[in-house]
Amino acid sequence: MNEYAREIREYRAQEKLGKAYGKIFVKVLGITRLNVPIPRLPTWFTCTLNNGIHFVTTPECRLMGESPIEQEFELIEHSKLEFTLTMKVRRDAHLQVKVPQVETPPPPPLPPAQVPSKSSMSGMRAFFGGSPKKNKTAPPKTPSPPPQPKPLPPRVVEEGLIRHIRPDGTLGRAFVAFKDVASECDTRLFETAFPLVGYTPDDKATVATSRTGSSSRVIGEVVLQLFRLPPLPGISPEKLPQSLDECMRGLRHTSWHKITYLESVLTQNGGDCSSWRRRQFRLVGAKMIAFNDVTKKATATIDLRQMTAVEDDNEPLPPEASHATVSRRRARDSYDGLLKIERSFRLIFPEEEIEFYTDTDEEKSKWLQVLRTLKGRIPPNPLWAELVWQQQEDFRSSRHEPDSLNRSR
């Protein structure tokens, strides 16, 4: 019944023998809540992922309070997987502004110390009996003009942002230990934010990489999407997804193929039935599955991906019908003669036609609507996604087995 039955059997045989590694997809959505001075002129930065073995740098992005990046990375899973995301600012000229500067004039000289005047000395001599002498006053001195300041070359003043940047341009760094988020992103998309640790203006010392960092040094957040693809031994690398979007799309399509869209009794002629046979049918994904009335087991499957048309036998062909379709209908009508079966429709395949009829008009309307919607719109079901789905099903069933055994006791 499964389109990958042979491949899955081969995979099961190699599952314990083969060696494979999980893949971690990391998408950096951007920087948010950035709490540093943002220059008025466009300023550019890059984000570098470094896992201790390789490092990859994104294209340049404009620095803003909310800066989108939208860059994806792929990592190989191992037990001690850790990586950093380093934000570096391009040190353009506008980050340093030149302003005029003048020399500071020297301070004025201190006033001379006050000494007693000669007239006062004469009075003292007269009091003690000394002979008075004629006073001589010195002419007042003209103060010299202060020195003029000399012009100096312009002084470089650092704009606010550059005080937060290290000499190599680093503005901040985020640290990710994969073991902390592994359970959250296992075969599902997980979006979260990590603190961006950087300078404080008063601390020019090197800031060591920290898992949390002090609150005074958190200057923003790095928003990530993570997805873990488990190891799939036996699957060649080119058949595995190459991006996070491909992972999500593949799992979504596989889930679509597991949904039951319609179920009712149909009477079938064609395919594996050489005469009219009444069956219980279930439309699951892209398959019409017939079940035995007694055993309730699947007995036949019709793959609708090869279906080229859905025709209502009780209605005339539309005007836009192709010449081949019209010729086929005329040949069939001449063969059937006056025999017309009510509530009948047929599925056209490249090599055959399978005819059905329903018990009620309502059931026929539902089947026609769903089947016509499916024609040409059935999504693919990749093998890797089918294997992941089965792994999840096995895990869920193993978790419920002890409960069922306890209930039976």
Q: Domains of the chain (ranges plus CATH)?
A: 20-95+158-231 (2.60.40.150), 258-374 (2.30.29.30)
Q: What is the pLDDT of residue 398?
A: 79
Q: Across residues 157-184, what is the average pLDDT? A: 88
Residue 19 has pLDDT above 50, yes or no: yes
Residue 297 has pLDDT above 50, yes or no: yes
Q: Which tokens hold the place of 12?
A: 């099961």
Which of 86-95, 113-122, 240-249, 372-381 has the least mean pLDDT? 113-122
Q: What is the pLDDT of residue 391?
A: 87
Q: Across residues 288-315, what is the average pLDDT? A: 91
Q: What is the pLDDT of residue 103?
A: 53
Q: Which tokens hold the place of 16?
A: 């314990």
Q: Please state the pTM of the whole predicted model.
A: 0.72
Asked whether 346 and 353 are in contact (CB, 8 A), the reply is: yes
The helix (H) or strand (E) run that includes residue 316 is none
Which of 235-244, 339-348, 366-375 has the least mean pLDDT? 339-348
**Positive or negative torsion for Cα 17, 19, 20, 21:** positive
**Positive or negative torsion for Cα 359, 360, 366, 368:** positive
Most confident of 6-10, 75-79, 96-100, 363-367: 363-367
Which of 124-133, 188-197, 311-320 has the least mean pLDDT? 124-133
Q: How far is CA 180 from CA 51, 79, 218, in A?
A: 15, 11, 20
Q: What is the pLDDT of residue 59?
A: 96
Q: Across residues 229-241, what is the average pLDDT? A: 89
Residue 189 has pLDDT above 80, yes or no: yes
Q: How far is CA 60 from CA 63, 94, 146, 306, in A?
A: 9, 17, 54, 47
Q: What is the pLDDT of residue 111?
A: 64
Q: Across residues 82-94, what is the average pLDDT? A: 95
Q: Across residues 139-166, what is the average pLDDT? A: 65
CA-only gyration radius of the chain, Å: 43
Categorise residue 242: left if φ over 0, alpha if ψ from -120 to 50, beta otherwise.
alpha
Q: What is the pLDDT of residue 71?
A: 96
Q: What is the pLDDT of residue 395?
A: 81
Query: Which amino acid appears at position 244 of this protein?
Result: L
Q: Across residues 370-387, what is the average pLDDT? A: 93
Which of 140-154, 204-218, 352-366 has the least mean pLDDT? 204-218
Q: Which residue has the higher pLDDT, 99 or 32?
A: 32
Query: Which amino acid appears at position 315 of this protein?
Result: E
Q: What is the pLDDT of residue 208?
A: 41
Q: What is the DSSP letter of 212?
A: S
Asked whether 284 and 301 are in contact (CB, 8 A), the reply is: no
Distance, in Å, from the CA atom of 364 to the CA atom of 371, rounded to the nearest integer, reads: 11
The helix (H) or strand (E) run that includes residue 291 is strand 287-291
The helix (H) or strand (E) run that includes residue 282 is strand 273-284
For residue 63, the Cα-to-chain-centroid distance in whole angstroms is 19
